[in-house]
Amino acid sequence: MPILLAIALAASPTLAQMRWDRRVLIVAAPAPQDPELAEQRRILDNWTAKRDERDLAVVEIVGDQVRGAGDSAPALRRKFRLPATFTAILIGKDGGEKLRSAHPFPAVVLERTIDAMPMRRAGRR
């Protein structure tokens, strides 16, 4: 493993370290060419400002690679019982699973779900 890649991976917080600080959208796909992965990325790219405002971190698990967290792909696949197909999971700041889908989440679904969370409502007061 190249040194810079190892440093970058070591610098990423684990999901446990993000708890109480960030909501996490886990996006898992079997391969980089997965069309549903491409669609979820497109949705999120158009939703960047709202993601930041809602304390949302995106963690991608594509094959055996993880982007956005320091956890390993096998550990995350076990913990969240991820199938070998596309899966998206929204995790709340409390670490609990809030939504799960075999298809990309539309931005409006993410927005409404996060805005209805108690910690989000308390933060807007």
Say what the pLDDT of residue 125 is.
43
Q: How far apart, in whole angstroms, are the C-alpha atoms of residue 33 and residue 7?
A: 26
Task: Return the CATH number at 27.
Answer: 3.40.30.10
Which range marks the domain in which residue 89 is found?
A: 3-124
Q: What is the dihedral of CA 113, 115, 120, 125, to 10 degrees?
A: -160
Say what the pLDDT of residue 108 is.
92
Q: Which two tokens stand for residue 115?
A: 């805005």
Say what the pLDDT of residue 40 is.
97
- State the amino acid at position 74 in one-letter form: P
**pTM for the predicted model, two decimal places:** 0.85
Ranges assigned E (strand) in 68-119: 87-91, 97-101
* Count of the separate structural domains present in the chain: 1
Say what the pLDDT of residue 86 is.
98
Tens of each residue's pLDDT in the chain, 125 residues:
455 544 454 568 999 999 999 999 999 999 999 999 999 999 999 887 788 888 999 999 999 999 999 999 999 999 999 999 999 999 999 999 999 999 999 999 999 999 998 665 555 54
